[in-house]
Structure 1
């Protein structure tokens, strides 16, 4: 082989090795959008997953509104949990009987009403996923929460939860 050809091959090899060092590593964690579902008569005024904020949710509703983002591992692993924090309005339709909006009476009624909001925090296991996708948070009776984070969504057969949209609070909740 000629010296020129050897140099070209050597430079090609060195260049190829140098470029391999420029390839960014695959991420271990990603930010996933957050969506919520209230399966109870309470409104969820606000919630978060690992401090990433989710949308507010009306009673017996959810889906369709997403906020960004919850940091989760790209690959699911046993024992994976998230911290869910939320504020709940147990009587979301009370304002129908309040004085007119913008009045002192309205402000006083709101202040009394907001004092009845409850705040909760739970460490929740994340359902197994093959591919990280949308983080779905289900608010259930007795301040229970279920979380999925896969590339599927409620209503599909491969979705890990099949809760009815309307669930009633029992007369007494089990102690957690």
Structure 2
């Protein structure tokens, strides 16, 4: 009986050692940035295991990631999206803010609008990285969200992207995403 319990414990530990998460790792602080290629939505915020950035597009400091990447690492990628920027589910457009001052009409509209926000989450394999330039959250159409952490990978994906309307299409293409959802 003792040998069966010991065998069960050893088997369980062997199974668990194959699934490494970011927990209990030495960490470093890096900037975070959101890149949204889906013009039909707004990304309000994104995080990797609870550490993240707002959807404003600029780099923000600081997020925590493991100091060294190891095979098998996973992370929880979470984000909040506004699925209908500027329009409520009933089709009403955002009211104007006279002189930037909120009105009761605007506050009522925003309450309805914020109830429409969607919280999304998925477990992802943590992409391999050596030298890091921070975490770049990339949002592709069809709720396809990815993270780029490695400097060389970020340079490969983002270097020489065209400006304007072609920026999003080319980045979607480079990342292997779909431009149109089914």
TM bin, normalised by shorter chain, reads 0.5 to 0.7
1:103 corresponds to? 103
Structure-1 residue corresponding to 2:70: 77
CA separation of 1:168 and 1:45: change in aligned 2, threshold 3 A = same
Q: TM-score, normalised by structure 2?
A: 0.62
Match of 1:148 in 2: 148
Q: Would you tell me which structure has more helix in proportion to its own residues?
A: 2
- For 1:161-176, list aligned pairs within 5 A: 162-164=171-173, 168-171=179-182
Give aligned pairs, total: 136
**What residue is the counterpart of 1:29 in the other structure?**
27
Give the Å deviation of 1:54: 0.6
Gaps of 5+ in 2: 1-24, 161-169
Deviation of 1:164 (Å): 4.4
Unaligned runs of 5+ in 1: 1-26, 172-176
Q: Conserved in 1, the CA contact under 8 Å of 2:138 and 2:145?
A: yes
Structural RMSD (CA): 2.9
- Which residue of the partner structure matches residue 126 of structure 1? 126
CA distance in 2, matches of 1:127, 1:162: 17
Structure (1 or 2) with the larger CA radius of gyration: 1
Cα distance in 1 for partners of 2:132, 2:158 equals: 18
Distance 1:124 1:133, change over 3 A: same
Q: Deviations over 1:1-25 (max 9, x none)?
A: xxxxxxxxxxxxxxxxxxxxxxxxx
Measured against aligned partners, the alpha-carbon deviations of 1:139-169 in whole angstroms (never above 9, x if no partner) come to 1223221112112324239xxx952499645
CA distance in 1, matches of 2:116, 2:68: 40
Task: Report the TM-score when normalising by structure 1.
Answer: 0.64
